[in-house]
């Protein structure tokens, strides 16, 4: 049966929970807000179904990107869609293709409380909920079971998720389906849902105080964008739109705060890896190992490859990596602007394709400190210490390596 002894060995795909025939595995959050499977030993029959579908246990079968991978810079010709997308609007194109072929699209969306979870749509209108990046680990629910049901009914299915979620789906299904399209994205890592909740609560408190509201309970968040491009694609921001409700206070509707990512407490913690899941520091599914058909991302560094402002400007450009013939056949049917690029050159601005990020030395201390401190206070306290420790370790490592390098030359 599934038994998690190292947090790094569980990516939270929850394929084991959905595969259990006795429903004896429950997803429970640890003290940092990350979900892990917990087995009810009283009803477990030790059938091994959970281990058979664990993508990390069977990570050795996942091979890296091959020479057959094709890389493209592309963007959606619909200017509104492109402006409202995280990068170039590629997801909308492929999602519309699937819906127009009477298919089903799975992806991550917000619920009414701004938690992120996986769901599906069968309509063009429903695609919008899945668009735009969401820098929180999504709750997968029973999506894999739902995918399998649609596939068995002969429906075309597009499943979009992190590389580990794609690997989890592949393991859960145990076979390939011609009518399944797996689309992942270049992933830095996934932050804790609990930290996201804490951040939103802090923002409500701050907004209530600044606008003389009775309290955060009177603050309603009506819109969130992690990738607000009002100041450009490269200088994207996290924007939150609020409304105030209450009998004894003036009504305020649709007031928006916008912060560049280098000003935003939550995004800084995410990018500095303080709030990311432990398995992300030892990811088994980078470099195409998820076995997705297509990988999408922002094409960071496109300006080094072309001076064409349609691609290199501030509207956003998608990087699309096509791994399978199935993916190439579909991409060839997309009505979009597309420019082939060398894969090795595309990797330069997107190192998360192939490399993990170092786990901060103070990762756990930082997460623990959030129980007593707000996010900004914790970041301002621990980030300078982390940077000093990293510098010291680099210096000590250089000293240790001096005699090693000399020894190697002598040998």
Q: Tell me the pairing of strands 104-110 and 116-121.
A: antiparallel
Q: Is the pLDDT confidence value at 273 over 70?
A: yes
Residue 169 inside a domain? The answer is yes
Count of structural domains, the chain: 3
Task: State mean pLDDT over 309-333.
Answer: 90
Q: Is the pLDDT confidence value at 80 over 80?
A: yes
What confidence score (pLDDT) does residue 218 get?
83
Task: State mean pLDDT over 121-136.
Answer: 96
What confidence score (pLDDT) does residue 280 get?
96
Q: Which domain holds residue 52?
A: 7-60
Q: Is the pLDDT confidence value at 178 over 70?
A: yes
In this structure, are 82 and 178 located in the same domain?
Answer: yes
DSSP character string of 63-126: ----TT-EEEEEEES-HHHHHTSSSSSHHHHHHHHHHHTT-EEEEEEE-TTS-EEEEEESSTGG
Task: State mean pLDDT over 30-36.
Answer: 95
Residue 304 inside a domain? The answer is yes
In this structure, are 182 and 71 located in the same domain?
Answer: yes
Q: Is the pLDDT confidence value at 407 over 50?
A: no
Question: Is the CA virtual torsion 320, 143, 273, 271 positive or negative?
Answer: positive
Q: Which of 217, 186, 183 is nearest to 106 (CA)?
A: 183
Residue 301 inside a domain? The answer is yes
Q: Is the pLDDT confidence value at 400 over 70?
A: no
Lateral strand order in the sheet of 219-228: 219-228, 237-244, 252-260
Is 277 in contact with 187 (CB distance < 8 Å)?
no
Structure pTM?
0.90
Residue 130 inside a domain? The answer is yes
Q: Is the pLDDT confidence value at 395 over 60?
A: no
What confidence score (pLDDT) does residue 402 get?
45
In the predicted model, what is the mean pLDDT of the chain? 89
Distances from the Cα of 241 to the Cα of 42, 88, 211, 212, 346, angstroms = 47, 24, 13, 17, 35
Residue 261 inside a domain? The answer is no
pLDDT digits (tens, 9 = 90+) for 229-272: 988 999 999 999 998 876 555 566 778 999 998 999 999 999 99
Task: State mean pLDDT over 18-35.
Answer: 95
> CA-to-CA distance for 87 and 110, rounded, in angstroms?
19
In this structure, are 22 and 154 located in the same domain?
Answer: no
Residue 1 inside a domain? The answer is no
Residue 403 inside a domain? The answer is yes
Q: Which of 274, 19, 258, 27 is nearest to 138 (CA)?
A: 27
What confidence score (pLDDT) does residue 67 get?
57
What confidence score (pLDDT) does residue 384 get?
83
> CA-to-CA distance for 145 and 23, rounded, in angstroms?
13
Is 320 in contact with 236 (CB distance < 8 Å)?
no
């Amino acid at each position: 049966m599934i038994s998690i002894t190292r947090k790094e060995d569980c990516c939270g795909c929850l394929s084991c929970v959905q595969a259990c025939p006795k429903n004896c595995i429950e997803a429970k959050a640890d003290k940092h807000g990350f979900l892990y499977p917990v087995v009810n030993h009283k009803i477990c029959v030790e059938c091994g179904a959970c281990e058979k579908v664990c993508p990390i246990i069977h990570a050795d079968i996942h091979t890296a990107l091959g020479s057959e991978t094709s890389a493209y810079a592309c963007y959606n010709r619909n200017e509104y869609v492109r402006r409202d997308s995280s990068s170039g609007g590629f997801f909308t194109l492929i999602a519309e293709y699937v819906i127009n072929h009477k298919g089903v699209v799975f992806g991550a969306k917000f619920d009414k409380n701004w938690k992120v979870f996986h769901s599906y749509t069968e309509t063009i209108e429903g695609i919008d909920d899945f668009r735009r990046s969401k820098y929180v680990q999504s709750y997968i629910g029973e999506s894999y079971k739902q995918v399998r049901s649609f596939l068995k009914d002969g429906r075309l299915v597009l499943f979009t998720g992190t590389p580990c979620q794609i690997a989890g789906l592949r393991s859960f299904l145990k076979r390939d389906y011609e009518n399944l399209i797996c689309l992942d994205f270049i992933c830095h890592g996934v932050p804790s849902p609990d930290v996201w909740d804490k951040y939103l609560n802090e923002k409500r408190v701050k907004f209530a105080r600044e606008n003389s509201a009775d309290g955060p309970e009177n603050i309603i968040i009506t819109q969130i964008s992690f990738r607000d491009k009002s100041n450009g694609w490269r200088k994207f921001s996290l924007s939150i739109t609020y409304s105030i409700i209450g009998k004894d206070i003036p009504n305020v509707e649709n007031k928006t705060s916008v912060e560049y990512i280098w000003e935003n407490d939550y995004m800084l913690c995410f990018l500095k890896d303080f709030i990311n899941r432990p398995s992300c520091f030892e990811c088994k599914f980078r470099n195409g190992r998820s076995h997705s058909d297509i990988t999408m991302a922002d094409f960071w560094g496109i300006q080094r490859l072309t001076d064409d402002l349609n691609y290199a400007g501030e509207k956003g450009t998608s990087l699309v990596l096509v791994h399978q013939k199935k993916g190439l056949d579909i991409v060839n049917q997309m009505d979009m602007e597309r420019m082939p690029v060398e894969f090795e050159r595309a990797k330069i601005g997107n190192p998360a394709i192939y490399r993990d990020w170092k786990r901060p030395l103070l990762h756990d201390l930082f997460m623990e400190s959030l129980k007593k401190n707000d996010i900004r206070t914790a970041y301002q306290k621990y980030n300078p210490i982390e940077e000093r420790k990293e510098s010291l370790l680099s210096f000590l490592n250089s000293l240790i390596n001096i005699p090693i390098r000399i020894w190697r030359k002598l040998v």
